[in-house]
Structure formats: structure tokens, C-alpha cells
Structure 1
Amino acid sequence: MHVFVSVVDRIREVLAIFPASSKMVNASALLALCASAAPAAGNIMLYQPGVSIAPSPLPPPGPSSHGEEIIRQFVGLSLATEWSLVDKVQFQGETFEPEGMVRLGNDRYFVSAYERPIPALRYNTAPDGADAQGAGFAHMMVFDGKGGQVADATITEEGSSEYHNGGIDYDGTYIWATLGQNRPDSTATLVRMRPDTLRPEPILRIQDHMGAAIHDLSSGNILTLNWGARSASVWNLRYKAEVPPAFTAPRAVIKNPSHYTDYQDCKFLGHSQHYAFRPVMLCSGITRLYGTVIGGVALVDMESMAPLYEVPLTMVSDTGMLVTKNPMDVALVDGKMRLFFLPDERNSTLYVYEPI
């Protein structure tokens, strides 16, 4: 069972409680105000009516809350490390093309994805990307710990050219994401949303495709990664952004010196004592090299994009997909580092691994 809700629907439900003559509210004025303020992109399908979309209160961000211990355990990995599949959870419903994932506590997974009913076209002039835009919608989906679908929010409007919802990060208050055109060298919008409302708040527009966002809680810097994570752009909300649709210039652009992995999804781990208190993130992804596909996870210096420690991963899903292909998250569970992967499209299963 599922229901459709919007901001205006919620207001109508509240207003129904009051008699028409009530002086407590001006119903027509309130509805008109909310209808004009609420974008069509705020539409949400609720699959478990009466169940909260997000935990309350919101939990702290797991990766950065335990970043030092996660880093300590990660740098102990090697090619010889064996991995144990500690959990496998089938996510219900259509998952489209999942790109990013954040885990809020033990019972909520937020998954960014995009739906593309009209596919983009590829030409010989762009072997690494799409020349034609295609058409689609960006989604933010929510699942419980058993894989049951809680909500699916469509966060772009019909006809929007920026519908590619990439890798995401959670800072304890907001989920950060980029909505980009589905092709390199294009445009994107940096957005943030509260997990309990899933309503995207545009922050600034970017004159390049961006496929992931990472928030450094300490400095306020936000990194966005372009197509294939070949470079990172640095932003900071302490500095005024241009008013959309105008583009804001990044404070810096950092070229990625590593070509081993095209990072898909990254999580902020904090300013690590292990690396002289530099800001560190954990990133995963895949790369196609010489007719084969390799996958891996890396600790990355957010100020230089230099990999600090890299580990190739060879685990595959039941369909044969490398687990690092799409979304990733990391957590410390019972003192042990766990990696969470959602590699398959449309019909997705969560794979949870611990090093042995």
C-alpha cells in the first residue's frame, strides 16, 4: 500500500481539523501561499503510512562520528584481506539507477537515483559519456533495515535537464547532493535536503557536470566531483553564491592525480590524526581499463584529491556486478568497520561486508 502526499495535501489535512469559520487560520490564504511555494519536485510516495521517513531525533553522521577508528581499520587492509558477507538485504520496488546512499542509524537507508525513460545517446565523439541529454527524473528513496520501501521522493520537475542525482553525504542535519545533466562538461545544481522532508533546497549552480557531494563539517567546505571524479570543485557557504540561474565560480578546482578508480560515492570521515589532521573522505567506484572493469575503495585527501590508501575489491553481486559500482556507505558496528554496497540497478540488493 502507498499514498501520494505533497506539502499542499498536508496543509489540507491539517485544515480539515478546523471548522470553516475558525479564526485560527485563514484557509484559502494559507493554501494559496503553500501551493505557490511548494515546487512540483516535492512529490513523495509513502509506502508505509504512519511510519516516519527519518529517525527522530536525527542521528549524528556515522562515518565522521567514528572516522578515526574507521581509518585505523581501513589502513590495515591489503590485497590479502578476506571479506565476510555479514548481511544481504533485498530492497523492495523499483530502484532505477542508484548513485548514492547514506545510512541513518540501523533502520534507514537513503538512496539517490535517477530514472531515465528516454535514454541518452552516445556517439563516437564522446566515448566516455553521452552527447545527448535524454530525459528523466531524480529520486531520493528511503528503505528500512529489512529492505521495505518507506518513501520515494521525486526531487526534480518534469522536463528538467538536471536529473542525474549522484553520490550523497549526510552531515547530521542535511543530505547533500548534486543534480546534474547526464553528460560530462554540462551543468549541475548543488542541493541539500532534510531527511524528514526530502525537499531539495538549491544552494548554487555549477557550470560543469557534478556527480557527488561531500560536506566537511569542520571547515564548512563542500566538495563536488565532476564526471568520473577527474576533478573536485570546492565551495563554502560562508561566501555568497550567485543567485540561480547564474553560475557560481568554485573557490578552487582540484585535479584528481589518481586514475585507478572513478569515484562514485564518498563519505566525509573528519580531520584525521592519522594524516596530520587533514580532511579525509572514503570513496568507492569502478574503472574500465583495457577491456576489464576493476573496483576499489580509497581514503582520499580532500585538499589534494590524492589517494592516501587504496584497496581493490573483487566481490560481486548475485548478478555478477562489482559491488563498488554504485552507492557505498561505511559504519562502525560493534567495533568493526562495515562497508555497505548497492551495486545493481532497478532491482537492488544491499551487500554488507566486514574484513575478516
Structure 2
Amino acid sequence: MPVPTTADTTPVLGLADHVARIGRSSRWELVGEVPLDFPTHHPQGMAFASGLIFLSSVQILDEPVPAADPALRTPGRGAGHVFVLDADGALMSDITVGEGAMYHPGGIDYDGENVWVSLAEYRASSRSIIYSIDPVKHTARERFRVDDHIGWILRDPGSDLLYGGNWGSRHLYTWDSDGRVLDRWENPDHYIDYQDAQIAAPGLLLCSGISLLPLPAGGTHELGGLALVDPLNRRISHNVPVSLFSDAGHVITRNPVTLTTDTKEILLHAAPDDGEDIRGTRILTYRMMPRA
């Protein structure tokens, strides 16, 4: 089943209302699966635009050396990609983005005109470049730079404001169209770290992500979730866990997530697995089932 890329306008009609009704008891049915038959590396964000799928991904060439303070990690070495796919998952274009140590793309979104993507150093409190990508020409344009690690970026076409989050989305940003910081506030939600985001309604963001919880016997459990974020009022208006896992054992909100709706039902599209995982990267589509 191809990914339904026709619903690629932002904001998606009725999306925020649908998301606000998702709860812990909501049931999801897998209705589509698109395998990606090329080296996908470590996908980060996903957006639908101009009938195509845009998938950001980081290719790690040298792993950063960890540190107790994530700002003191070594930068490592890698390459940033924004893959352009058709509805069946065939690779049409590979847009390389980034500069030097700024090679890690984050969550992306389509604003009706451009796809927006951030490229950051792979460590906290670092540097980022914000790009827009022409969805027809498949060309990237640098818009501005930020003295922080920006893990996802989007633009609200109604207000011409841009929103994003830093490492773990512990702080959330608002910029004007020239990249001037209008607001920076501490995220009160410690439930998950946001990894991808999209506009759910004018002035309202839909963020998805993951939290790694330690297990008593060692290892971690991937806790997934969704959140509706109201940046103008600095509040989280709704959040909910997502407990769906891929064949590789990853929670589906681990990285790329996009939700669409036709006003009657809501679809969740996710690509939680890396190219090296079992069965590789697949775009999974789930339908929220009606309440019994």
C-alpha cells in the first residue's frame, strides 16, 4: 500500500481535534507498509509535499564519543540527507545538507511552500543551520543559523513564525522569518523528548518522540508518545503515550512521524527503524480504530 501523500497541506484539516481525542485506550491497526530499498541510515523526520515523501536522515561516519554532559561529546563525523521518495518508497533524489560538524538533520515539516529542516552538531548546546527545501526543484536554501542544537524545525504559514526544539526539546524556540529569536521557554513536559513535529492547527504544534526508561535488569524501554504544544501560551495542551512497536523492537514514534486525516479518520505514518535494523527502514501506516 503506497503512502497517501495527497494530504500534504499544512495545517491538516481537523488534525488537532483528532489528536486531542487520542487516549491510552485508543487502538491502532496497521494498514500499510512501504519498504525502502536503499541505504536509509538513521532516519529523523518525515513530511509529505507535492505528492512526494521527504525523509531526513543522518549517516554516521565516526560516532561521537559520549560524555556525562552531552554538550561535551566529541562532534563525530557524518553526512546529512533529505531523501525524496515517491508514494511507493522509490528514491527519486538525495539532497545533501549541512556543513562540517553540523551534519545531523532533525524533524522536518512542510508549510505548503517549503520543507524545513535543521542541521546541527551531534551534541547539546552546539550550533545549527536552518534550511528550506523547494519540494519541486529539490534544492536547499540556508535561511539562518542558531547557537544551539536544534532537533526539529517547522514554520506556521498563518503567522510566518518558525518553531523548534533543542537537544531533547528541553527548550522550545520561536523565531521570526529572519531567524530572530522571539521566545525561548523551558519545556514543562518531561514525559518524552520530541523528535519530529508538524503544524496541527494555526499556532498549535503536534510533536512526537521517545523517552528511554531504564529497566531493573539493565537495558532500556522505549516509551513513545504524542503531544499538542501551544507555544504562544507556553503550555502542553494534550499528551498521550503510544505503545506500538516495529519488528526491530522500536517504538513507532522513535523518529520520523507524520499524521494525516481525511476528517473521518486519522492515519499515523512512521519510520522507526534504521537501515541496519531487521527488515531495514519501512514506512508504517496505522489507522486509529473507532472506539468499541
TM-score, structure 1 length as denominator? 0.73
**Counterpart position of 1:51:** none
Q: Is the 8 A contact 1:211 1:264 kept in 2?
A: yes
Look up the match of 1:297: 226
Contact 2:173 2:184 in 1 (8 A): yes
2:152 corresponds to 1:221: no
1:91-118 residue CA offsets vs partner (Å, 9 max, x unmatched): 120111111100236x521001111111
- Structure 1 runs of 4+ aligned residues shifted over 4 Å read none
Deviation of 1:130 (Å) = 6.4
Answer yes or no: is the 8 Å Cα contact 2:258–2:269 preserved in 1: yes
Output the CA distance in 1 between the equivalents of 2:23 and 2:222. Answer: 19
Pick aligned residue for 1:163 from 85, 88, 103:
103
- CA distance in 2 between counterparts of 1:204 and 1:280 reads 23
Decide whether the 8 Å contact of 2:162 with 2:175 is kept in 1.
Answer: yes
Any stretches of 5+ residues in structure 2 without a counterpart?
Answer: 216-220
Query: What does 1:334-349 align with in structure 2 at a 5 Å threshold?
Result: 335-346=264-275, 347-349=280-282
Per the alignment, residue 257 of structure 2 pairs with 328
2:13 is equivalent to residue 80 of structure 1:
no
- 1:41-80 equivalences under 5 Å are 61-66=8-13, 69-80=14-25
Counterparts of 1:250 and 1:84, CA distance in 2: 41
Q: Per the alignment, do residues 60 and 174 of structure 1 end up closer, same or farther by CA in structure 2, a change over 3 Å counting?
A: farther
Structure 1 stretches lacking a partner, 5+ long: 1-54, 242-248, 272-278
Q: Using the TM superposition, give the Cα deviation of residue 146 of structure 1 relative to its aligned residue in structure 2, in angstroms.
A: 1.6
8 Å Cα contact 1:60/1:171 also seen in 2: no
Counterpart of 2:287 in structure 1 is 354
The Cα RMSD (Å) is 1.9
Note the 1:14-53 alignment, pairs <5 A: none
1:124-169 deviations in Å (ceiling 9; x for gaps): x32x576100111110101222222222122235xx1111110011
Per-residue deviation, 1:204: 1.2
Percent identity of equivalent pairs = 28
SS of corresponding position for 1:186: coil
CA distance in 1, matches of 2:222, 2:268: 20
What is the CA–CA distance in structure 2 between the aligned matches of 1:349 and 1:129, rounded to whole Å?
32
**Amino acid aligned to 1:62:** T
Question: Which structure is higher in strand share?
Answer: 2
Q: 1:149-298 residue pairs with structure 2 within 5 A?
A: 149-156=91-98, 160-237=100-177, 240=178, 250-271=181-202, 279-291=203-215, 292-298=221-227
Structure richer in helix, relative to its length: 1
For residues 98 and 17 of structure 2, what CA distance do their matches in structure 1 show?
A: 39
Structure 1: how far apart are the matches of 2:76 and 2:233?
34
3-state SS of 1:251 partner: strand
Kindly state the Cα deviation for residue 306 of structure 1 after the two structures are TM-superposed: 2.2
Q: Distance in 2 between matches of 1:338 and 1:265?
A: 16
Give the partner amino acid of 1:227. Answer: W
Distance 1:352 1:120 in 2: 32
Residue of structure 2 equivalent to 1:132: 74
Q: CA deviation at 1:335?
A: 2.7
Tell me what 2:218 maps to. Answer: none
Matching residue's letter, 2:236: P
Counterpart residue identity of residue 335, structure 1: K
TM-fit CA distance, 1:224: 1.8
Separation in 2, partners of 1:302, 1:91: 35
Q: Which has the larger radius of gyration?
A: 1
Contact 1:62–1:332 (Cα < 8 Å) also in 2: no
More relative contact order in 1 or in 2 (CA 8 Å, sep 6+)? 2
Q: Is the 8 A contact 2:102 2:129 kept in 1?
A: yes
In the alignment, is the contact (CA less than 8 A) between 2:115 and 2:134 conserved in 1? yes
How far apart are residue 199 of structure 1 and its match?
A: 2.2
| 1:136–1:130 distance in 2 versus 1, CA, 3 Å | farther
Query: How many angstroms apart in 2 are the aligned matches of 1:138 and 1:309?
Result: 32
- Does the CA contact (< 8 Å) of 2:7 and 2:261 recur in 1? no
Counterpart AA for 1:75: A
